[in-house]
Amino acid sequence: MGALTGTGRLIRLALRRDRVKLPVWILAIVGFMAIEVPAIEQVYGETEESRITYATTTASSLVSRLFGGPIGGPQLGEILNNETFAFMAVAIAFMSTLLIVRHTRQNEETGRSEIIASAITGRNAALTAALAVAVGANIVLAGLLALTMLGFGLPAKGSVATAAAYGAIGICFAGVAAITAQAADSARGANGLAAATIGVLFLFRAVGDGLGKLGSDGMSVISTWPSWLSPIGWGQQIHGFIAANWAIFGLFGAFIVLATAAAYYLNARRDIGLGMLPARKGPAQAAPSLLSSWGLARRLQRGTLIGWSIVFVVMGLTTGLISKEFATFFESSPEMRQYLEAIGGGQNINDILFSAMIALMGITAGAYVVHGLQRMRSEEANGHLEPVLGTSVNRQIWMLGHFAYVAAGTLALMALFGLSTGVAFVLVEESAALGDIWRLTVASLAYIPGILVLGAGSAFVFGLLPRAAVALSWLLFVFCLFVSQFGELLKIPRAIVNISPFAHIPPVPSEPFAWLPATMLTGATLLLLAAALLSFRRRDLTTA
Amino acid sequence: MTQTAGDDAIVVSKLVKKFGKFTALDGLDLTVRRGEVHGFLGPNGAGKSTTIRVLLGILRKTSGSVSLLGGDPWQDAVELHKRLAYVPGEVNLWPNLTGGEAIDLFGALRGGLDKKRKAKLLERFELDPTKKNRTYSKGNRQKVALVAALASDVELYILDEPTSGLDPLMEAVFQECIQELRREGKTVLLSSHILAEAEALCDRLTIIREGKTVESGTLSQLRHLTRTVVKAETAKPVEGLDKVGGLHNLRVRGHRAEFEVETDKIDAALKHLLQYDIRELISSPPSLEDLFLKHYEKTPAEKK
């Protein structure tokens, strides 16, 4: 019996389990592309002149560089990629990582793997089957994306190169998840680790593009090295609509080979159900701090918060350290001065950077809130909650414990970001005062009322519809992300954009903090939280 | 301990629980008296765990009445749970906590546990509390939940198939522990599949099937409802046995007779047989197995 025996059957099993999920993912991504191409053509691409204006302004726009990427020139395809590539790449990366974890670590956690392993299947069959399905899904996705772009009349070479880059990014992240599924000892942990990797690699390219030099034509960005540390960055460097850099696919190939080799290496060297770290013995008695419903929530939430804290501190330090270079670069650019006057009314250049980064990290903290509160659903689904509610723990107190921890965690994350940004800023910028540390720490708290609305909404969904809670909470998050990224471009009605709590928060510190929306958002949080507590009190507990 | 008539720990009457269109409990009745060990039996999927979850206020009843320690398990869950300990049918513990931590946590959440008792129980169940939960086998996870429950000094113990993963040695320890609880006057609701265990421990039994109560009473009361199997060989051909009431599955072939007889008709049946000179007689008393099989097996009409 070979190590791959039974792979074919497991592929069919995975496809059977995913017969709805995977087509929905693929069609949603392709559908998004089909909406975006004509919208972008209409708004930016109708005349040569409007395309040049777009390329000139975005090349020198910090926000566009951070969220979009390095524009290469005034071609319609380049404009499309600048508007959509980063977002699409993250969506495709999540499709792949969730898929891999679902068919590897999640099976181990639920005990399904033991039955499979006891049947006629090889040691590597499960991992190989998951990877095969991921590769297949990404190839189908890339094919459909290429057809969509070609269908809207975009140049053939650029369409194919861009679509292939999407597929390659998806497969790279399938490789990442294949490793995290070995390293973590739970499906939730593996997904969290994979999501953090996606986040870090996205941020690498954001920093690399943000620090990039303005091209001599004033319409392109030459990214710096951090962009080259990230598969998402590689995809953006191909610039298929100008002179496609096919050699980059060699990088993708090397990444995929190394990642999968590492995953197989780890897979062969660990026991089923366990992670890489050997289980150590622990205390025979519980510490007094654990002995309450709140203590348990703290213990269960701790690891998630520590992981996210690292990301926020790294991002803060990076933001602070690059602030001086940004200032020098943008002051030397006349286009940028124009741009700044347009949006900030002659504000401090550093503050524009800080506002953009605080907005970005505010939405990122929204992902932490949703991730952290999912713990409630996984506690229920795994059967951990049932014996706890069999004791004299009150359901509402239990829920409030988790919510309070995640709310405090959000506060800590944003404060850590502001603090580390401030410290790094004071270190590199002579004109900065110690007071800037405090000012930035406080400013970074501006988004908290908005983030907590998302958290209370996520808790409400858990209280009302437990089985759909995970999917719906992430949908809420993606909606907020989507309208903040594409609301203007797609001319989404203001009424819909305003559903997102983030839409009501002004860019602090370049604009002053607004108390009225913050108070209203806090009111909304309290209402949603009350609804969450009521609905959870009234329903049955439901396991998997 | 005051024990008056009608002082029942659990009274469930006409309990209905529906999940969407599916009816899990369909008019179930269950009465557990204070101070008794009550066996709760039924085939897989009969609704034992669902009933227990309703009793714990984890599921909300659709209709019927449920009283637990004199309170409403849905409304008064938190207060009532201070007076009971629960071992779930499938014990899932936080993988990164140790067994000892989980035991202390459950004890504290219940309102405190007896440390001496805990130490003694750990010893008796041979459980290492320093291991992480993820490394425990099913039986050891069950021991964690059992130690946590038994170390709590409460009035009522609700145990959902608590021994399904234990080895025979540990099963014996478990039975000792339950006997001790009985001596202390505690009430135990024990759902089980192990007939010997139910026979050894339970004062009274309730058997349910498809969400309905089919039998309830003491073991001898239940036995009374079953039949003794009689096989006889006689010198003269047997005649007229069918005139004796209370006989079932009667088969007479010349000198041989085989039948099942209801307990109160044994005397009449044997007196009838004596007329034909008995040469050989085998009589098998009803076993608990027969009792179960009688209720667990679907009737031919239900099988379709």
CA distance B270 to chain A (A): 54
Cβ distance B147 to B121 under 8 Å? yes
- State the Cα–Cα distance between residues B31 and B8, nearest whole angstrom: 7
Instruction: Compute the mean pLDDT over every residue in chain B, rounded to the nearest whole number.
Output: 88
Cβ distance A168 to A249 under 8 Å? yes
Across the interface, which of A283, A383, A390 has its CB nearest the CB of B101? A283
Q: Which pLDDT value is given to residue A66?
A: 82
In this structure, what token pair is assigned to residue A392?
A: 């004299």
Question: What pLDDT digit, counting tens, does each position of A183-236 carry?
Answer: 887 787 788 889 889 988 998 898 899 888 888 888 899 999 999 999 999 999
**Contact state of A185 with B91 under an 8 Å Cβ cutoff:** no
Cβ distance B263 to B227 under 8 Å? yes
Q: Does A392 touch chain B (CB under 8 A)?
A: yes
**Contact state of A539 with B60 under an 8 Å Cβ cutoff:** yes
Chain A residue at shortest CA distance from B136: A279
CA distance B39 to chain A (A): 20
CA distance A183 to chain B (A): 15
Q: A350-359, B111-120, B184-193: lowest mean pLDDT where?
A: A350-359
| pLDDT (mean) for B246-262 | 86
Q: Does A98 touch chain B (CB under 8 A)?
A: no
CATH 2.60.40.10 fits B8-222, yes or no: no
Where are chain A's structural domains? 1-276, 290-544
Instruction: Compute the mean pLDDT over every residue in chain A, rounded to the nearest whole number.
Output: 88
CA distance A316 to chain B (A): 31
Q: A450-459, A479-488, B103-112, B163-172: lowest mean pLDDT where?
A: A479-488
Q: Does A384 touch chain B (CB under 8 A)?
A: yes
**Contact state of A391 with B109 under an 8 Å Cβ cutoff:** yes
Question: What pLDDT digit, counting tens, does each position of B232-241 carry?
Answer: 999 988 888 8
Q: Does A388 touch chain B (CB under 8 A)?
A: yes
**Contact state of B81 with A281 under an 8 Å Cβ cutoff:** no
- B130 chain-A contacts, CB cut-off 8 A: 281-284
Q: Does A522 touch chain B (CB under 8 A)?
A: no
Is residue B3 predicted with pLDDT exceeding 60? no
> Which of B41, B166, B194, B144 is closest to A387 using CA atoms?
B144
> Which of A62, A37, A41 is closest to A50 using CA atoms?
A41
The structure's pTM equals 0.77
**What's the pLDDT band for B300 if we cut at 50, 70, 90?**
very low
**Contact state of A392 with B135 under an 8 Å Cβ cutoff:** no
Where residue A183 falls (left for φ over 0; alpha for ψ -120 to 50; beta otherwise) is alpha
Q: A342-346, B9-13, B92-96: lowest mean pLDDT where?
A: A342-346
Chain A residue at shortest CA distance from B111: A392
Across the interface, which of B77, B108, B145 has its CB nearest the CB of A292? B108
CA distance A394 to chain B (A): 6
Interface test with B, best of A114, A277, A300, A392 (most B CBs within 10 A): A392
Chain A residue at shortest CA distance from B86: A390
Q: What is the ipTM of this complex?
A: 0.81
Q: Tell me, rounded to whole angstroms, the distance of Cα A385 from its chain centroid.
A: 28
Q: Which pLDDT value is given to residue B42?
A: 86
**Contact state of B98 with A282 under an 8 Å Cβ cutoff:** yes
Cβ distance A154 to A80 under 8 Å? yes
CA distance B23 to chain A (A): 15
**Contact state of A285 with B95 under an 8 Å Cβ cutoff:** no
Across the interface, which of A284, A383, A540 has its CB nearest the CB of B59? A540
Neighbours of A494 (CB within 10 A): 9
- B132 chain-A contacts, CB cut-off 8 A: 279-282
Q: Which residue has the higher pLDDT, B301 or A412?
A: A412
CA distance A396 to chain B (A): 11
With a pLDDT cut of 70, the percent of chain A lying above it is 94
